[in-house]
């Protein structure tokens, strides 16, 4: 089989995509309609003398409500889609809108120039972003009908997924077939048992990326490997080589690697975590 990158596609029913698009369009229309209705009613009250606001006073008292509507709509959209596009701005607008409304009601004192005090919203965003990820344990089936193969030179043209996934990725079934892999995870562990794998007569690349997690790998002692492992914060142990602390990296190459036909080229990059590779 021709070497390349492993891309896993998730099939989505066309009716589901159409329904989601209609829902998003409906949500946008609802937000616009709510803003127009609210502004219109407020202007009517001003014009008939029920509310004696000037134009500037009207704007100052109304824009917090606008912030709240925009923010709430963005949060609802993120929850429905289980994504995080626009979530940070939605949380910001919602929080700022609520505080400004409470200020207008005399409950608290808060001005727009105090917005820098809302920096903890970043922590809330990171927490919700993680909760909205794919909380799954991933099992990869390398049957050709489930995956697509592309050449290395075409790999950069493929759009990478932007979801923040959470979960473990394991390759440990008996006689599982090793193929070129490029794996990326947000939070979670990787486990590879190459002693149980069918390894083809070729150089097989494995690219592993993660934000927080551990990588553990068992390699047959007769399999030549080349390993480059980097951990920003944590420890790296590849065979007899070990590094710990910050910005740690280990490069290991088997003596017979260059001459071998059947071999594995492993690249690992983690922000926080550990790498442990042993041969048995």
pLDDT tens-place values along the chain, 280 residues long: 444 444 333 344 444 444 444 545 555 566 566 666 766 766 676 667 665 555 556 566 677 877 888 777 777 776 665 555 566 677 778 888 888 888 878 888 877 677 677 777 677 766 666 665 544 334 344 444 333 333 343 334 333 434 445 667 888 888 899 999 888 877 778 899 999 999 999 999 999 988 778 899 999 998 999 999 998 878 888 888 887 767 788 889 998 999 999 999 999 998 888 899 998 8
φ/ψ of residue 143, rounded to 5: -65, 135
Query: What is the pLDDT, as a whole number, of residue 65?
Result: 79
Q: C-alpha distances in angstroms, 253 versus 140, 197, 214, 237, 238?
A: 27, 20, 21, 14, 10
Query: What is the pLDDT, as a whole number, of residue 166?
Result: 61
CB contact set of 108 (below 8 Å; sequence gap of 6+): 99, 102
Query: What is the pLDDT, as a whole number, of residue 75?
Result: 72
Query: What is the pLDDT, as a whole number, of residue 64?
Result: 80
Q: Which two tokens stand for residue 199?
A: 């390894």
With CA atoms as reference, report the closest residue to 271 among 199, 200, 215, 218: 215
Query: What is the pLDDT, as a whole number, of residue 218?
Result: 92
Three-state SS letters, the chain: CCCCEEEECCCCCHHHHHHHHHHHHHHHHHHHHHHHHHHHHHHHHHHCCCCCCCHHHHHHHHHHHHHHHHHHHHHHHHHHHCCCCCHHHHHHHHHHHHHHHHHHCCCCCCCHHHHHHHCCHHHHHHHHHHHCCCECCECCCCCCCCEEEECHHHHCCCCCCCCCCECCEEECCCCEECCCEEEEEEECCEEEEHHHEECCCCEEEEEEEEEEEEEEEEECCCCCEEEEEEEEEEEEEECCEEEEEEEEEEEEECCCCCCCCCEEEEEEEEEEEEEEEEEC
* Location of structure tokens 């727009």: 112
What whole-number distance in Å separates Cα of residue 222 and Cα of residue 238?
16
Query: What is the pLDDT, as a whole number, of residue 164?
Result: 46
């Amino acid at each position: 089989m021709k070497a390349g990158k492993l891309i896993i596609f998730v099939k989505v029913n066309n009716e589901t995509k159409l329904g989601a698009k209609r829902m998003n369009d409906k949500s946008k229309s609802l937000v616009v309609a709510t803003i127009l209705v609210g502004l219109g009613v407020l202007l009517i009250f001003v014009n008939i003398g029920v509310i004696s606001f000037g134009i500037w006073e009207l704007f100052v008292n109304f824009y917090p409500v606008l912030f709240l509507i925009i923010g709430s709509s963005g949060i609802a959209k993120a929850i429905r889609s289980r994504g995080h596009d626009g979530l940070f701005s939605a949380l910001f607008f919602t929080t700022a809108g609520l505080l400004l409304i409470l200020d207008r009601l005399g409950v608290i004192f808060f001005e727009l120039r105090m917005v820098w005090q809302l920096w903890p919203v970043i922590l809330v965003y990171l927490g919700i972003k993680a909760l909205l990820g794919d909380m799954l344990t991933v099992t990869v089936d390398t049957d050709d009908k489930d995956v697509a193969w592309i050449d290395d030179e075409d790999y950069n043209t493929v759009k990478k997924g932007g979801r923040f996934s959470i979960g473990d990725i394991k390759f440990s079934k008996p006689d599982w077939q090793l193929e070129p892999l490029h794996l990326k995870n947000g939070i979670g562990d990787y486990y590879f048992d190459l002693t149980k794998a069918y390894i083809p007569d070729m150089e097989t690349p494995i690219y592993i990326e993660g934000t927080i997690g551990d990588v553990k790998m068992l390699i047959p002692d007769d399999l030549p490997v080349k390993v480059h492992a980097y951990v920003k914060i944590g420890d790296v142990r590849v065979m007899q080589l070990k590094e710990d602390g910050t910005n740690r990296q280990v490069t290991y190459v088997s003596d017979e690697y260059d001459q071998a036909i059947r071999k594995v080229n492993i690249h690992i990059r983690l922000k926080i975590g550990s790498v442990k590779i042993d041969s048995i």
